[in-house]
Structure 1
Amino acid sequence: MSMNLLLMGLPGAGKGTQAEFIVEKYQIPHISTGDIFRAAIKGKTPLGIEAQKYIDKGELVPDEVTCKIVAERLKQNDTKNGYLLDGFPRDLDQAKSLEEITDKLDKKLDAVINIDVDPDTLVQRLSGRFICKNCGATYHKLYKKPKVEGTCDVCGGHVFYQRSDDKPETVENRLKVNIKMNTPLIDFYKKLNLLHTVNGNQDIANVTEDINKILTNLN
């Protein structure tokens, strides 16, 4: 049986870690829109060249081009036993286009896994990073503190800073935008009986175990 999956989750929910597990266990390609855009542009495919024009102008690549690039990727031979989509669809229009694409290719989604994490936890996760000003070593307030407080493990420096996109207010804003985008998609896939929500507040191993149970039951 094929394993055609979509992985959803807010920034910091741990999608990357879980994607690695799914791809390794089920031997299916991880298809992230960022990667396929880069491959299409690097390979100078007609769609890659078209996408590059928008990127060069600092504009968003239109849905029509994005959907064609995704369709092109899903036609490739390595998706015959399934695929793991990540970062697409980003809105309802793209979700409806994906339905049409997968219908035509006879590669309809089998499940949508949504890793659900409390937004306050995500703010802590995402805004906890700080960097040594002297050598650039990165630390985290929760997960990777320096061995001696206030002293860099690598160079012994004492001055740390936080990147502007790691600051709590920036992180909160980013999450709000993502929640607004994700909510209609969650409703859409719930109505199609494809949605499986996993509690992402647990330890990584428990999240993996929960995802594994869902996927095992699909077979």
Structure 2
Amino acid sequence: MRLLLIGAPGSGKGTQAKRIAAHYHLTHISSGDLLRKEIAAGSDIGRTAGRYVEAGDLVPDNVVMDMLRGPVEEAGRGNGYILDGFPRTVAQAQAAYLVARSLDVAVQIALYLEVPREELLRRMHARAGAQGRADDTDEVMLHRLDVFDELTAPLLEYYARRETLLCVPGDRPVQEVTDTVIKEIDRVRAI
């Protein structure tokens, strides 16, 4: 099974991806986690990506695609994967689809976690305090949500046309969201 998790910053993508991966025995691939590791390591990718992350902007497609190609291919040939944090634009989705299709590891189900903006901001503030992430300042938080609304939200229409798109309310308790996601995935897989 190959899943893509779409949601605004603070929507719970990382939390839900880990839970879904554990339930279905999938590899969880987080572009954000991979980028933060590269930034912390001071690699070429990390130095390039760091400038964009600090401003709340999207890291260039080629940088992210190069970083994700190996993990996605490996997981796609195994039990499958759940990818969170990429693609974030229709252009990225189209480019990723061409690469993944040629490797026979394309996404089968896209899952969108719907969370109201006020709740996203509350969660991002809580995360900033708990994790001390430098990219979670008020200005950057608002900018990241604006970027999501402008660039990432059109992915929903794209995936609704190309694959199965599941929309799940993500503003409920964590276990309730997980249960709903699993129920919806199982329903689609049974068709």
**CA offset digits 1:71-94 (Å, max 9, x no partner):** 222222674211011111121221
Bigger-Rg structure (1/2): 1
Q: Name stretches of at least 5 consecutive residues in structure 2 with no aligned partner.
A: 53-57
Number of residues paired by the alignment?
181
Indicate the residue corresponding to 1:68 in structure 2: 66
Separation in 1 of the partners of 2:8 and 2:122? 13
Structure 1 runs not aligned, ≥5 long = 132-137, 139-162
Give the partner amino acid of 1:189.
Y
CA contact (8 A) 1:126 1:171 kept: yes
Q: Judging by fraction of residues, say which structure has more helix.
A: 2
CA contact (8 A) 2:3 2:83 kept: yes
TM-score normalised by the chain length of structure 1:
0.69
What's the counterpart of residue 172 of structure 1? 142
Q: What does residue range 40-189 of structure 1 map to in structure 2 within 5 Å? A: 51-52=45-46, 54-55=48-49, 58=51, 62-76=60-74, 79-127=77-125, 165-167=136-138, 171-189=141-159
Query: CA shift at 1:201, angstroms?
Result: 2.1
Question: 1:204 and 1:38, CA in 2 relative to 1: closer, same or farther beyond 3 A?
Answer: closer
Deviation per CA, 1:32-75, whole angstroms, max 9, x where unpaired? 123445677899xxxx965256347x367542342233222222
Contact kept in structure 2, 1:21 and 1:208, CA below 8 Å: yes
For the pair 1:19 / 2:14, whether they are aligned, the reply is no
Seen in structure 2, the aligned counterparts of structure 1 residues 9 and 183 have a Cα distance that, compared at 3 Å, is same
Q: Indicate if the aligned counterparts of 2:3 and 2:81 stay in contact, CA closer than 8 A.
A: yes
Paired with 2:172 and 2:34, the residues of 1 have a C-alpha distance of: 31
Identity of aligned residues (%): 33
The alpha-carbon distance between structure 1 residues 100 and 120, as it changes in their structure 2 partners (threshold 3 A), is same
1:165-205, Cα deviation, whole Å (9 max, x unpaired): 454x6543432222212211111111114211001122222
| CA distance in 2: counterparts of 1:173 and 1:55, whole angstroms | 17
Three-state SS of the structure 2 residue aligned to 1:75 is helix
TM-score normalized with structure 2 length: 0.77
1:84 is paired with a residue whose SS is strand
SS in 2 for 1:88: coil
Give the equivalent residue in structure 2 for 1:153: none
Higher relative contact order (CA 8 A, sep 6+): 2
Structure 2 distance, partners of 1:130, 1:75, is 32
Q: Answer yes or no: is the 8 Å Cα contact 1:36–1:73 preserved in 2.
A: no
Alpha carbons 1:75, 1:105 under 8 Å: kept: yes
Shift of 1:24: 0.8
